[in-house]
Structure 1
Amino acid sequence: MERILTPTNYELIPLNDLTNVRFYTSVDTGSYIASHWHDAVEIIYLLEGELMITVENSSFRISAGQCVMITPNQIHSTLCAQPNRAIVFQIPVAFMEKFIPDVKQMQFAFHDPAETRIMQTKVKQFKDILLKMQVLVDSGADGAVLRFNSLLFEVLFQLYHNFGTFSASKDTARRNRDLEKIFPVLNYITENYNRPIPLSEIADVAMLQAKYFCRFFKKCMGVTFLEYQNEIRLSRIYDDIINTDDQISHILERHGFTNYKLFRRMFRERFGCTPTELRNGSLSAS
């Protein structure tokens, strides 16, 4: 059974009642997930294919066999240009802080491939644990949840000792306050993205003056308000192009794009192809 984690974060994470985390094998035929964050460590271990990831405006590609760790409250997006399969593991801070009191002042990350032999060994051990957890989840055998939870605490130990660093507490607290303040703004954009949203209207949601709101939004999200709204539109359009046979003009209208020339330029900049090429399987993200 799963429940929804609902603190002041953007992506709502379905949690397993018996483990307090989310762990699953993702099979993705193609997707674009716009910039978002969550109050959880996210681990993506790519088993097949490739995945483009943008974290705090830094983009990189991971291939089969590579793993990435995203620290809580980091703005990130993902682009699956070709089918892939991955282990996705999300561990909420609310769960971690029961056992790691200072976890809210910590950041979690590692490089894969690792830069030193010692870290290479640690990353390999971490991946081996993920694979063992995957077998347990997929098997559903009697007692599997007990073994899964024992491995979960091994993961917490490794996060704390091998992949965690402390950040300046004032910076972390300020960052969390900013994210809490912008949370209702992102919700409002998500609910109204397919229509023009006047600057004065969205600034009122944030309870800020319009001029200050623009600076605040850019500081938090790394993009302007309009760029973010278009990102949401592109993610919905991308999904519909792949998963429906609807005419592209109808898809654009559904998601609020009225300027086809602008849309076509933005789509090619983001995905490296035209909507028709995407539908025909010619996507080659750069």
Structure 2
Amino acid sequence: MSSTHSPHLLFSPKKKSNNNENNHSFSYEVISTLESTGVHFRTSIDPGSYVPAHLHHAIEIIYLLEGNLTVIMESSVREYHAGECILINSDIIHSTKCTSPNKAILFQIPLSFLSLYLPNADQLVFNLENPEESAVRRTKLDIFKETLVQMQIANDIRPEGFILRFNSLLFEILFQLYHNFSIRVVHGNQTQRDKDRARLDTILNYIRQNYKQHISIEEIANVAYLQSGYFCRFFKKCMGITFLEYQNELRLSYIYQDILSTDDSIKDILERHGFTNYKLFRRMFFEHFEMTPTEVRKNRNAT
């Protein structure tokens, strides 16, 4: 991927495994960039996933076509249903949970791309939801959703001259976002914000690459060129949870997907992803999914 923002992680299920080999039956995928546009767009069919707290330097839009999706954003938890459209602004910490299959249009607009056409794009905040929603705003949102669907049709079918059609719809939806769903907010000390964002990117990338192993506070603090005490405060301030909690959340997301997509034993799956505290795992798992791993598998086999 050519853009520099942190990728949004998606699960891609593969063939079930009936042995104990140390092979992953799924992979985290990066939403593909359309080379002719610089944005990320795809139809997502999710059989079940948990994506822990993360951020990316892009506006993310999820239009649910079927099923439900739970989104935790800035300490607010909400379940979205088919027909609803979710917008997550750039650099907003969020997580998602899908406990039953859903289908959605998934669309990311990197801030670097938006900045090519809108001055000071990093000062724009977008909002599709409005507590005082009027008939005019509902009409604008319906038009916005229909434009997304037309983009999906063009992207899925890829007719001759596809890129002309897709790009015309892309710029139409950017125009709608800018005029109908944005406000301008000037952030203080943008230089420090950019520095903190770059540092957090380095930290999260290192954790993703090494999450199976024990990572000490000293080790991860050195990656960020910070003293241990300052690192802990910095990470909690940025992510809303401690470093250890985040590492376990990331492990849990992989474990949950392996439970859904393989027949490997729970013990083998936990070892594969570096989760050594079984009691803590069971507590975290039940808190997130309100079921035991065995019950999740029974539900999977029943569908």
* CA–CA distance in structure 2, aligned partners of residues 186 and 37 of structure 1: 10
Contact 1:214–1:224 (8 Å) recurs in 2: yes
Query: For 2:245, which of 187, 211, 227 is the aligned residue?
Result: 227
* CA–CA distance in structure 1, aligned partners of residues 132 and 257 of structure 2: 34
Shift of 1:189: 1.1
Relative distance call for 1:172 and 1:193 in structure 2 (3 A) is: same
Q: AA paired with 2:4?
A: P
Matches within 5 A, 1:36-51: 36-51=54-69
Matches within 5 A, 1:126-145: 126-145=144-163
Equivalent residue number for residue 54 of structure 1: 72
The C-alpha deviation readout for 1:178-216, integer Å capped at 9, x for no partner, is 121111111111122122211111111111111111110
Relative distance call for 1:188 and 1:207 in structure 2 (3 A) is: same
Equivalent residue number for residue 35 of structure 1: 53
Equivalent residue number for residue 11 of structure 2: none
TM-score, normalised via structure 1 length: 0.93
Question: Tell me, what secondary structure is at the counterpart of 2:226?
Answer: coil
* CA–CA distance in structure 1, aligned partners of residues 135 and 233 of structure 2: 43
- Structure 1: which 5+ residue stretches go unaligned? none
- The answer to whether 1:215 aligns with 2:224 is no
* CA–CA distance in structure 2, aligned partners of residues 81 and 175 of structure 1: 34
Percent identity for Structure 1 against Structure 2 = 51
Equivalent residue number for residue 98 of structure 1: 116
- The answer to whether 1:107 aligns with 2:125 is yes
TM-score, normalised via structure 2 length: 0.88
Question: Tell me, what secondary structure is at the counterpart of 1:23?
Answer: strand
- Structure 2: which 5+ residue stretches go unaligned? 9-29
Relative distance call for 1:226 and 1:157 in structure 2 (3 A) is: same
Equivalent residue number for residue 7 of structure 1: 4
* CA–CA distance in structure 2, aligned partners of residues 56 and 138 of structure 1: 33
Q: Is 112-121 or 45-54 further displaced after alignment?
A: 112-121
Query: For 1:186, which of 188, 192, 204 is the aligned residue?
Result: 204
Q: Quick one: higher RCO (CA 8 Å, sep 6+), 1 or 2?
A: 2
Query: For 2:83, which of 44, 60, 65 is the aligned residue?
Result: 65
Query: For 2:103, which of 85, 88, 108 is the aligned residue?
Result: 85
Matches within 5 A, 1:114-263: 115-170=133-188, 173-263=191-281
